[in-house]
Structure 1
Amino acid sequence: MTSSIYDFNYTANNGEDISFQAYQGKVLLIVNTASKCGFTPQYDGLEALYKKHKENGLEVLGFPCDQFGHQEPGSDDEIAQFCEMRFNLSFPLSKKIDVNGANAAPVYEMLKQEAPGLLGSKRIKWNFTKFLVNKEGKVVKRYSPTTKPEQIESDILALL
């Protein structure tokens, strides 16, 4: 039996334990993020999507990760301050996590299993890999780091 996203929890940037059940009935865009990556400007597009569609049921969730080129070196507080000051982010961020390897966050293990990458690869290749989850908690699609948030908007609208 495949699990749904609602079987998992994550720790928010402020230390609060959050159950994905809090997002039932919403469309989720889940992204592993980094503050010092060439794709970091995608925060602007992610925030724009969030602001435009949150009233209709979209949640964007950022999962900072330092596994790719040491591009997220800061503490959870430093990451939150950077995202707030540089991008005025209002969507939730988790505490820094691993997305690959022995310490990968369990929710990321499920996301990779449900939506493999190119040629069936399970590993996350780089920062800003995105996963779209429908209102029933099922992973619908995986997007590469080069896919800009605005390119995902039509897929999001189809699920809202």
Structure 2
Amino acid sequence: MVRYLGFLFVLLLTPAAQAADECADALDTTVRKLHSQQTLDLCALTRNKLTLVVNTASQCGYTPQFKDLEALYQTYREQGLIVLGFPSDDFRQELDSESDTAEVCYVNYGVTFPMAATSAVKGDSANPVFQALGAATQAPGWNFNKYLISPDGNDIRHFPASAEPRGGELEAAIRDALAQ
């Protein structure tokens, strides 16, 4: 609502309008895109969307989960889901070259969801997203930990590496959150 008060226009936002202009605190940052100089504005990408954040690695036993993460993204993105991948070598299973990591993600597994540049996801050197997620839930103990963040950012659920992207508790939580 806009009110005119003398020479001053005052914009009054309802709580719903205020919430629509905000993003989850954990995602209020920009990161460099994998194997690119472009940046990803995570706030803009995730505003009003259910967000699944995953720490990834290209040489891990869980690396085939990329296929099902992409399937989740394709199945639910029109309903409001976004998946964000964060490659990391914190567990010594990421390739040394971002171009090699990009090939695994984009060519081998057909990933189309946004992937950030390789960064730390645990400890004092963790990127800002994983610092916030670790403080809200727990830091990843291995590759392919999954964090489901509600559109308003008030609810963050952690799923371990062993949680399969499709057909289990994670997909059920996604369906439930999107139905609300």
Unpaired runs of 5+ residues, structure 2, are 1-23
Aligned with residue 147 of structure 2, among 131, 136, 139: 131
State whether structure 2 residue 115 is matched by structure 1 residue 93: yes
Deviation (angstroms), 1:76: 1.6
Q: Quick one: percent identity of the two aligned structures?
A: 34
**Is 1:49 equivalent to 2:72 in the alignment?**
yes
Greater RCO, CA 8 A, separation 6+:
1
Gaps of 5+ in 1: 117-122
- Deviation of 1:141 after TM superposition, in Å, equals 0.3
What TM-score does the superposition give when structure 1 sets the normalisation length?
Answer: 0.88
TM-score (norm 2): 0.79
Higher Cα Rg: structure 1 or 2?
2
- 1:19-70 deviations in whole A, cap 9, x for unaligned? 22211011110000001100111111101000001111111111000011x2
Give how far 1:139 is off: 4.2
The two structures, once aligned, show a CA RMSD in angstroms of 1.4
CA contact (8 A) 1:12 1:92 kept: yes
Q: Does 1:109 align with 2:125?
A: no
Q: Which amino acid aligns with 1:51?
A: Q
Contact 2:40 2:116 in 1 (8 A): no
**Any conservation in 2 of the 1:111–1:139 contact (CA below 8 Å)?**
no
- What amino acid maps onto 1:78 in structure 2? D
Return the letter of the residue paired with 1:5. A
Match of 1:71?
A: 93
Q: Residue 10 of structure 1: which of 31, 49, 56 is its match?
A: 31
Distance 1:18 1:141 in 2: 23
Residues 17/138 of structure 1: CA separation in 2 closer, same or farther (3 Å cut): farther
Decide whether the 8 Å contact of 1:135 with 1:159 is kept in 2.
no
Residue aligning to 2:19: none
Aligned length: 151
Aligned to 1:159: 177
